[in-house]
Amino acid sequence: MADRPIAVEQHNPALKHHFVDMEQQREASSLGMWLFLATEIMFFGGMFCAYLIYRYWYFPDFAAASSSLDITLGTANTAVLICSSLTVVMAVRAAQLGKRQQQVVYLALTLVLGLAFLGIKGIEWTSKFKEHHIPGPTFNFEASLPGHPDQPVDQHHAQLFFSLYFAMTGMHALHMIIGVAIFTYLLYRAWKGAYTPEYHTPLENSGLYWHFVDIVWIYLFPLLYLIDRKK
Amino acid sequence: MYDTFPLWPARASTTAGSVDTLFIFLVILSAMVSVAIFTAIVVFAVRYRRRRGVTAEQIEGSTALEVTWSVIPLGIFSVIFIWGAVIYFKERTPPRGATEVYVVAKQWMWKLQHEEGQREINELHVPVGRDVKMILTSQDVIHSFYVPAFRIKQDVLPGRYTTAWFRPTKAGIYHLFCAEYCGSQHSGMIGQVVVLEPAQYEAWLSGGGAAGSMASSGANIFQQLGCSTCHRSDIQGRGPNLVGVFGKPVQLEDGRVVTADENYIRESILTPGAKIVSGFKPIMPVFQGLVSEEQLNALVAYVKSLNPNPSGAAGGPTVVPSGAKPQEIKVQ
Amino acid sequence: MATAAITAERENYLNQEYGIKSWLLTVDHKRIALLYLLSITFFFFIGGFFALLIRLELLTPAGDLVQGDTYNKLFTMHGQVMVFFFLIPSIPAVLGNFLVPLMIGAKDLAFPRINLLSWYLYIIAGILMLHCMLTGGVDTGWTFYTPFSTAFSNTKVIEAGLAIFISGFSSILTGLNFVVTIHRMRAPGMTWNRLPLFIWAHYATSIIQLLGTPVIAVTLVLVVLERALHLGIFDPTRGGDPLLFQHLFWFYSHPAVYIMILPAMGVVTEIVPCFSRKRIFGYKFVALSSISIAVFGFLVWAHHMFVAGISLYSALIFSALSYLVAVPSAIKVFNWTATMYKGSITFSTPMLYAFGFIGLFTMGGLTGLFLAALGIDVHVTDTYFVIAHFHYIMVGGAVMGYLGGMHFWWPKISGRMYPESLGRLAALIVFLGFNLTFFPQFILGYLGMPRRYWQYPPEFQVLNVLSTAGSTILAVGYLLPMVYFLWSMRYGKVAPDNPWGASGLEWMTSSPPPTFNFDRPPVVDWEAYDYENIPAPQEARSGG
């Protein structure tokens, strides 16, 4: 930054009038995004807290309910999200190197992967709907406790598991949808050449958001899908 | 009965005295601190009011003072904390041998049942000088059992038991309030605690038309619902022997050890799969929805009565005859 | 002396642009502050109206003014409106928004558009809340305890829950803006140790807003889902635990009370040095105490649950921690008092409000010691003792701090002086009315009168009548400033840049400030509260 003449820095078209220079603007935006992610941690944290308590209390029922989730699709989704975080990083890198074409490609890939995640989630939820595992008046979970074929799973506890499952994955999916919307906008702007080596803050900060949503999934997946799986 | 304009609540339990003492201490302490601060402010405001030719003296601070007025309050707070904790500890530890009263709260009334079997609605008769332990549960939302004259309050929760105890020291009639907002008639969910001299209390008991003690009605329910088929007291049945089990540690199948208190008995009846006793199969039927709160209370009282020295149970334990056939289940 | 004609009025943020669009689409933090001022004042009077109805009902032991169900809605909506739509935004969204950039020498907050979004979210939440109130209301108490709120109440719980959820976002975004601004946009030379303590207080408040509000947000989501879909997360008949709700609820709602009081403490810390002509006593300790309150405030939530069914040992821990959090507040009171020592004191309206704050906050805070004592709490929790305690802090404390701040910075905000004698009169009326309203409630509480009671035993009547009498006086005290502030905008004396001779960058620009705050960006090389070098105010304040 020291290389660039101050006049250029202070007259970068992307500089907002209330900031002194681009560096201040960049740092402010970045800090803002990190703080926002801290609030998101607290938000998801409430649900994780409820989940951890009930799982501790009703472990066998939760294990039974968990094993009815599709582990293949869950794993696939995990892989999809991790790859999408990679493509996001590559897009930011491309912006740092001034490569507009690459940015567009990687952002498009990110979108595809994000939509794939949502699609797979849709498939999972549809099958849950068909199996009557959606909490509410139609809920019915027929199964026995793992290792105890003669003991049925407590319906209330199973419904608790699924209530938290849908609340948590639903909230996560909502954040993914918002992420997809943001990245669609970014794709458009990148295509227009808005992001340069001097200014690609929206890409970086949105990338942070995307990584965060990814990390939430990385916690959700083992907690929800991988209870006591001994296959 | 009541003053028209009281400024202090009646003091009618052993706890009330200790609570009032701490309260008065705190009132005096607060008054002293408030007066000190107000006086300082008034004195400074007058003494250092703006005057021609007098400028303020710039004082940055004083670490010594800051430490002093942090440490001293902290010291005083520690005293208050310990004092309050000691009172609380006593309040939450019912003495052995206390008479038990089972309380079921519902929107918007209090249903009480003495060990001896008497039922009351919105009223509780107790004798002076006797320890009374209440076992409370709610049929619907959270309520709170509050007797200001005894200085006791305990939230009453649906789905589990909470307990509270008191020893009345003075005959009289005292307010019973519901202290946790519970809907439309929350402020109508009030009653009274009638503290009688022991002789009058005995008179009230015998005139009450009790339908048998709680323990004995619990014994009947135990038979009717078929519990005695598996929970035998003579030989090892399909379920654990319940004689002497109350209040003792129980080893569970998953390795945990829990205490067989009221909540454990209640849970074992409603959702038996939650805690399986080590060495037994999970075959006990689920009674959730098949027993009312009052029946649950009676069953708990019955199980307690199976202990070798039951706590103050009037009406004695009833040993279940072996091989008794289950009769038709009635839900009250 | 009224000055209707102003010669050669300078360009400032008020007259730079006219028209409703310039206000509704503004990104100027000062205009947004005024938008908030209008909205929170509106909700204050709504909440206050509910309070008056409550007090009128409580004149007599019988329930004879309104029906029981209506009464339950009145106290619920009084609480919700006052907490979420008045107290939590009040000082940060009005005075904070206006002053934070000015005090640190910045042109605006870090994210001006997010600031405007924050106001719109508040308005949307407010409209939803109003709609809820007008179409039936909600009767769960502002604390929404389950299973009553999720499975038994027949009122509009979901709508109220959603309204509060949205208002929470408004709060989070304001906090986010402040933290980033304070970190990144201080003028050259404005180090952390030179910041006005108002800024430290808002920094601490913002941390709480950021970390605490999301928890109530997710709790409300779960309550709404549970109510709509009959889940069982908090319902014991479906395997859930009502205490889990209470823990989640209070994890936010306790720190929330520090969101409500810390900014007011920040205001007092600006007023007392100014009207003592002295630097604050113990700057570092006051700054540190704000941060300590924010940190410790997150560790004490279950002191609202001592009789709820938590274990004895949990209760002991939370009681001990609650005493710890009292220490930093005590430090502030001592430091304010010490600041007056050897000062040169003027009894302006802001200073009178500061005195009132210190007195009433001290009393309210001391009664907190009662509540933290386990043995006492068992008797007084859920009674009028608690109501009196928190109103001493929230009304005797936070609202007086807010009014003091409004009077102190009114010249800066509007460019006009309010009438000083009326200001002092109103402060006195508020102080007297307040004490008459709430002191009897301590006695009522110890006597055993529970909260949220529509009808009560007759022996409680005398104290209730006193309380109601006080509330009518208090109402007058609150109406007065609204009237004369409005009056002053047209007829008040034109304010100079620094009518109080106060320290702080905001006083070094015009009253009202230009849109971009400073004609030239300031460079700071002096300490905060540099009263040694600040001349006394241009006009005499006392006896005015």
Domain range annotation of chain A: 41-225
Distance in Å, alpha carbon of C235 to nearest chain A alpha carbon = 10
Cβ(C163)–Cβ(C125) below 8 Å: yes
Question: Chain C within 8 Å of B4 (Cβ-Cβ)?
Answer: yes
Cβ-defined contact of A47 to C232 (cutoff 8 Å):
no
C287 pLDDT exceeds 70?
yes
Long-range contacts of A22-29 (CB under 8 A, 24+ apart): A22/A198, A22/A199, A24/C184, A24/C185, A25/A201, A26/A201, A27/C184, A28/C110, A28/C111, A28/C180, A28/C181, A28/C183, A28/C184, A28/C185, A29/A201, A29/A202, A29/A205
C118 vs C177: CA distance, rounded Å: 10
Distance in Å, alpha carbon of A59 to nearest chain C alpha carbon = 13
Q: What is the mean pLDDT of chain C?
A: 94
Q: Residue B170 to residues B11, B12, B16, B41, B100: CA-CA distances in angstroms?
A: 8, 5, 11, 46, 19
Cβ-defined contact of A42 to C214 (cutoff 8 Å):
yes
Give the DSSP H or E segment for B192.
strand B191-196
Cβ-defined contact of B282 to A154 (cutoff 8 Å):
no
- Name, in order, each residue with C-beta under 8 angstroms of C305's C-beta and a sequence gap of 6 or more: C243, C246, C247, C250, C318
Rounded to an integer, the average pLDDT of C9-23 is 89
Q: What is the CATH number of the domain that holds C222?
A: 1.20.210.10
ipTM over 0.90: yes
Handedness of CA B74, B80, B86, B90 (dihedral sign): negative
Q: Which chain C residues touch B4 with a CB distance below 8 Å?
A: 458-459, 462
What number of C-beta contacts closer than 8 Å exist between B and C? 279
Residue C358 CB coordination number (10 Å): 24
A69 pLDDT exceeds 60?
yes
B290 pLDDT exceeds 50?
yes
B103 pLDDT exceeds 70?
yes
Name the one residue in this structure whose structure tokens are 């709820």. Answer: C308
Report yes or no on C152 lying in a domain: yes
Select from C383, C258, C391 the least CA-distant residue to C332: C258
Cβ(A33)–Cβ(A208) below 8 Å: yes
pLDDT for res C104: 96
ω into C512 cis (within 30 of 0): yes
Q: Using pLDDT thresholds of 50, 70 and 90, give the confidence band for residue B210.
A: low
- Name, in order, each residue with C-beta under 8 angstroms of A101's C-beta and a sequence gap of 6 or more: none
Question: Chain A within 8 Å of C172 (Cβ-Cβ)?
Answer: yes
C516 vs C514: CA distance, rounded Å: 5
C264 vs C86: CA distance, rounded Å: 13
Report yes or no on C495 lying in a domain: yes
In tens, the pLDDT along A21-43 reads 999 999 999 999 999 999 999 99
C468 vs C437: CA distance, rounded Å: 6
Report yes or no on C460 lying in a domain: yes
Q: Using pLDDT thresholds of 50, 70 and 90, give the confidence band for residue C175.
A: very high
Q: Give residue C385's Cα distance to chain centre.
A: 21
Residue C412 CB coordination number (10 Å): 25
Range of the domain at C173: 28-533
Rounded to an integer, the average pLDDT of B111-126 is 91
Q: Using pLDDT thresholds of 50, 70 and 90, give the confidence band for residue C149.
A: very high
In tens, the pLDDT along C467-510 reads 999 999 999 999 999 999 999 999 999 999 999 999 999 999 99
pLDDT for res A6: 54
Question: Chain A within 8 Å of C113 (Cβ-Cβ)?
Answer: no
Report yes or no on C15 lying in a domain: no
Cβ-defined contact of A151 to B282 (cutoff 8 Å):
yes
Tokens of C190: 């404005």
Distance in Å, alpha carbon of C361 to nearest chain B alpha carbon = 10
C28 pLDDT exceeds 80?
yes
pTM confidence score: 0.91
B271 pLDDT exceeds 90?
no
Cβ-defined contact of C238 to A159 (cutoff 8 Å):
yes
pLDDT for res C230: 87
B248 vs C199: CA distance, rounded Å: 58
Q: Using pLDDT thresholds of 50, 70 and 90, give the confidence band for residue A1.
A: very low
Select from C455, C442, C341, C375 the least CA-distant residue to C71: C455
A152: β partners: A144
Structural domains in chain B plus CATH codes = 8-42+65-211 (2.60.40.420), 214-305 (1.10.760.10)
Domain count, chain C: 1
Question: Chain B within 8 Å of C359 (Cβ-Cβ)?
Answer: yes
pLDDT for res C540: 39
Question: What ranges make up the beta strands (E) of C355-476?
Answer: none
Which residues, numbered 113 to 172 in chain A, qualify as contacts with chain B under a Cβ-Cβ cut-off of 8 Å?
A: 145, 148, 150-151, 154
Q: Which of B175-189, B243-257, C40-54, C392-406 shows the lowest mean pLDDT across its residues?
A: B243-257
Q: What percent of chain B has pLDDT over 70?
A: 90
Handedness of CA B108, B114, B118, B123 (dihedral sign): negative
pLDDT for res A10: 58
Q: Which chain A residues touch C181 with a CB distance below 8 Å?
A: 28
pLDDT for res B211: 63
Select from B147, B183, B178 the least CA-distant residue to B165: B147
Count the helices and strands in chain C (H runs, E runs). 17, 0
Residue B139 CB coordination number (10 Å): 16
Rounded to an integer, the average pLDDT of B142-171 is 96
Q: Residue B322 to residues A112, B82, B242, C268: CA-CA distances in angstroms?
A: 71, 52, 13, 78
Q: Using pLDDT thresholds of 50, 70 and 90, give the confidence band for residue C544.
A: very low
List chains touching C (3+ CB pairs under 8 A): A, B
In tens, the pLDDT along A157-179 reads 999 999 999 999 999 999 999 99
Q: Using pLDDT thresholds of 50, 70 and 90, give the confidence band for residue B323.
A: very low
In tens, the pLDDT along C207-243 reads 999 999 999 999 999 999 999 988 889 999 888 999 9
B142 pLDDT exceeds 60?
yes
- DSSP string over B126-154: EETT--EEEEEEESSS-EEEEEGGGTEEE
Cβ-defined contact of A151 to B273 (cutoff 8 Å):
yes
Report yes or no on C543 lying in a domain: no
| Nearest residue on chain C to A38, alpha-carbon basis | C211
Rounded to an integer, the average pLDDT of B12-29 is 96
pLDDT for res A9: 53
Question: Chain B within 8 Å of C147 (Cβ-Cβ)?
Answer: yes
Q: Which of B120-129, B281-290, C201-210 shows the lowest mean pLDDT across its residues?
A: B281-290
Q: What percent of chain C has pLDDT over 90?
A: 92
Rounded to an integer, the average pLDDT of C373-400 is 97
Q: Give residue C201's Cα distance to chain centre.
A: 12
Question: Chain C within 8 Å of A39 (Cβ-Cβ)?
Answer: yes
pLDDT for res A7: 54
B322 vs C44: CA distance, rounded Å: 71
B327 pLDDT exceeds 80?
no
pLDDT for res B331: 32
pLDDT for res C93: 97
C300 vs A13: CA distance, rounded Å: 49
Cβ(C352)–Cβ(C427) below 8 Å: yes
Q: Which chain B residues touch A151 with a CB distance below 8 Å?
A: 273, 282
- Name, in order, each residue with C-beta under 8 angstroms of C193's C-beta and a sequence gap of 6 or more: C283, C284, C287, C527, C528
In tens, the pLDDT along A171-230 reads 999 999 999 999 999 999 999 999 999 899 999 999 999 999 999 999 999 999 998 776
Report yes or no on C133 lying in a domain: yes
Range B190-211 burial, b when 16+ CB lie within 10 A, else e: bbbbbbbeeeebeeebeeeebe
Q: What percent of chain B has pLDDT over 90?
A: 62
Q: Which of A145, A148, A154 sits opposite B271 (nearest CB)?
A: A154
- H helices of B190-292, in order, are 198-207, 214-224, 227-230, 262-270
Select from C417, C415, C420 the least CA-distant residue to C351: C420
pLDDT for res B289: 83
Cβ-defined contact of C379 to B148 (cutoff 8 Å):
yes
pLDDT for res A3: 52
In tens, the pLDDT along C426-460 reads 999 999 999 999 999 999 999 999 999 999 999 99
Cβ(C436)–Cβ(C473) below 8 Å: yes
Cβ(B205)–Cβ(B250) below 8 Å: no
Rounded to an integer, the average pLDDT of C360-376 is 97
Phi and psi torsions of B13, nearest 5°: -140, 170
In tens, the pLDDT along C75-110 reads 999 999 999 999 999 999 999 999 999 999 999 999
At the fourth CATH level, which superfamily is domain A41-225? Cytochrome c oxidase, subunit III, four-helix bundle (1.20.120.80)
B313 pLDDT exceeds 50?
no
Pairing label, strands B123-127, B191-196: parallel
Count the helices and strands in chain B (H runs, E runs). 7, 12
Q: Which of B299-313, C122-136, C192-206, C273-287 shows the lowest mean pLDDT across its residues?
A: B299-313
Question: Chain A within 8 Å of C239 (Cβ-Cβ)?
Answer: yes
Q: Using pLDDT thresholds of 50, 70 and 90, give the confidence band for residue C520.
A: confident
Distance in Å, alpha carbon of B233 to nearest chain A alpha carbon = 26
Cβ(B158)–Cβ(B180) below 8 Å: no
Q: Which of C107, C172, C225 sits opposite A39 (nearest CB)?
A: C172
Hey, is B241 helix, strand or coil? coil
C520 vs C393: CA distance, rounded Å: 40
ω into B69 cis (within 30 of 0): no
Q: What percent of chain C has pLDDT over 70?
A: 97
Cβ(C144)–Cβ(C192) below 8 Å: no
